[in-house]
Structure 1
Amino acid sequence: MEPNFESTATLLFKIKAGDEQARERLFKTYLPIITDWAHGRLPKYARDLSETADMVQKSLLAALQKVDDFEALREGAFLAYLRQVLLNNIRMEIRRVSRKNRHGYNQNDAELIDEGASVIEHIIGDEALQAYEKGLMSLKDKAREAVILRVEFGYSFAEISEAVEMKSANAARMLVSRSIVEMSRNM
């Protein structure tokens, strides 16, 4: 992770005050982070006109347009917000492509159906993902952010402690560990 000399909260405050350079700095800071996270999340069959990079940029721009409605309680909150915006856009794209493909058979349907996994594997994978999301939503905001930062973005415990305002890396490690246990109970 690149060192952040200007906090996300500071940049968001400046953006709300109309500072376009702050908007660009925030965009440049989060674009590579969210791009790395998004890699492989848009299924192959849904990549017609919307490649992952385009979807990431569109999601980041959409989030920045609604920045006035966003309240940055902690550094990790904005990244969790971006993740949710991108997930929502990915889900909409999958639905759009699925509806389009339901209206008729074409030569590419064989590719769409068989991507190396059986129907059961697709269902189990989707069910596991839904259970994970349900478990995440059962957590308090700070705990959810910490888990997302660790599990999905690969942040170190020191980075998490800074992002969610914990006293130490060890405190962040305990928060993540306890939150994952709580998630598993709610899944």
Structure 2
Amino acid sequence: MKTRATSKSDLLLSRAKAGDAQAIEALFSLYQNYVRLLAASQLRAKLRTRVSASDVVQDTFMKAHRGFEEFRGKTGGEFVVWLRSILSRQIQTLYEQHVTVQSRDVRREVSLEEIGKWVDRSSTKLEAVLIGSDPSPGTKLQNHERMLRVADAIAQLSVDHREVLLLRSVEELGYKEIAERMQRSHGAVRMLWLRSIEALRDKLAEDNE
């Protein structure tokens, strides 16, 4: 029976749980781009005008740092799930503070429940996109390691390329909707989408060299 290769995140996590301060910082840094992309994909229009993805990410990591001793997982994959749950609660809290006003309105409770559902859905979609974008499916890297690798590559793209990737791949919007959101023509959005895919592949290819 083959044993699973120990990943970089697993090693950092082990050292961090043993009290290594530098490993803790390195561990959180490893997941920063992934959490930033996830936050950006989950901030719907009603929240974008009130809070930024950077603020959400900062608050998420602050809470994660404070509660790290309570984390009982042993793998990078479990750490991803834990971070995602903290981010999900952050998003729900922000909606409660900024979007839902009438505390006793039944629709408020329904909306918060729906928030939790679409946070989970968008998380799943983003991870599928990140893993599926890796041009080396034969690699021995675990899925979440490949996911982090692609997230780091996307973080190096231009703002427009990142936005069109999220709108098209995660929110699954059509070109017409994306064109309205980005205030561009339909043709310009299609071209931007193709160029963003090409740019991502180039970044990943550079990492493989």
Answering whether residue 142 of structure 2 is matched by residue 162 of structure 1, we say: yes
Q: Distance in 1 between matches of 2:61 and 2:85?
A: 11
The residue correspondences of 1:101-140 to structure 2 (distance < 5 A) are: 130=117, 133=120
SS in 1 for 2:16: helix
Distance 2:46 2:115 in 1: 20
Check whether the contact 1:11–1:26 (CA below 8 A) recurs between aligned residues: yes
8 Å CA contact 1:55, 1:89 repeated in 2: yes
Task: Specify whether residues 85 and 22 from structure 1 end up closer, same or farther in structure 2 by C-alpha distance, changes over 3 A only.
Answer: same
Contact 1:59/1:85 (8 A) holds in 2: yes
Task: Give 1:85 deviation, angstroms.
Answer: 0.8
| Change in 2 beyond 3 A, CA 1:14/1:65 | farther
What runs of 5+ residues in structure 2 fail to find an aligned partner?
1-5, 104-109, 145-209
How many residue pairs align between the two structures?
A: 127
**Are 2:77 and 1:76 equivalent residues in the alignment?**
yes
Cα 1:77–1:131 shift into 2, 3 Å: same
CA RMSD of the aligned region, Å?
Answer: 3.9
Q: Runs in 1 of length 4+ with deviation above 6 angstroms?
A: none
TM-score by length of 1: 0.52
Describe the superposition over 1:97-120 as per-residue Cα deviations: whole angstroms up to 9, x where unpaired.
1245x59xxxxxxxxxxxxxxxxx
Deviations 1:4-56 (A, max 9, x none): x9632322232233322112211211111111122131223224553111111
Alpha-carbon distance change, 70 to 128 in structure 1, aligned in 2, over 3 angstroms: closer
Structure 1: gaps spanning 5 or more residues: 104-122, 137-144, 165-187
Taking structure 2 as the reference length, what is the TM-score of the superposition? Answer: 0.47
Worse overlay, 61-70 or 41-50 = 41-50
